[in-house]
Amino acid sequence: MNSKLLTTEDLLLATSISETLIEKEIDLIQSIIQFKGADFALNILGKVQKIMAEGGLLKKNGEKRAPGGIFFQIVKESCSKTEYTQIFRPQITERRRRSRARKQVIKLINSLSL
- Check which CATH number belongs to the domain holding 26 and give it: 1.10.10.1440
pLDDT digits (tens, 9 = 90+) for 29-54: 999 999 999 999 999 999 999 999 99
pLDDT at 3: 64
CB 67 within 8 A of CB 48: yes
pLDDT at 28 over 70: yes
- pTM summary value: 0.77
| Residue 40 belongs to a domain | yes
Question: What's the pLDDT score for residue 74?
Answer: 96
Spatial distance between the Cα atoms of 91 and 58, rounded to a whole number of angstroms: 22
The answer to whether 30 and 7 have CB atoms below 8 angstroms apart is: no
| Predicted pLDDT of residue 2 | 58
Q: Which domain holds residue 79?
A: 8-112
Q: What's the pLDDT tens digit per position in 5-24?
A: 889 999 999 999 999 999 99
**60, 104 contact by CB (below 8 A):** no
Within a domain: residue 39?
A: yes
Tell me if 2 is assigned to some domain.
no
**Overall number of domains in the chain:** 1
- Over the stretch 59-94, which tens digit does the pLDDT of each residue have? 889 999 999 999 999 999 999 999 998 888 888 788
CA 76 to chain centre: 8
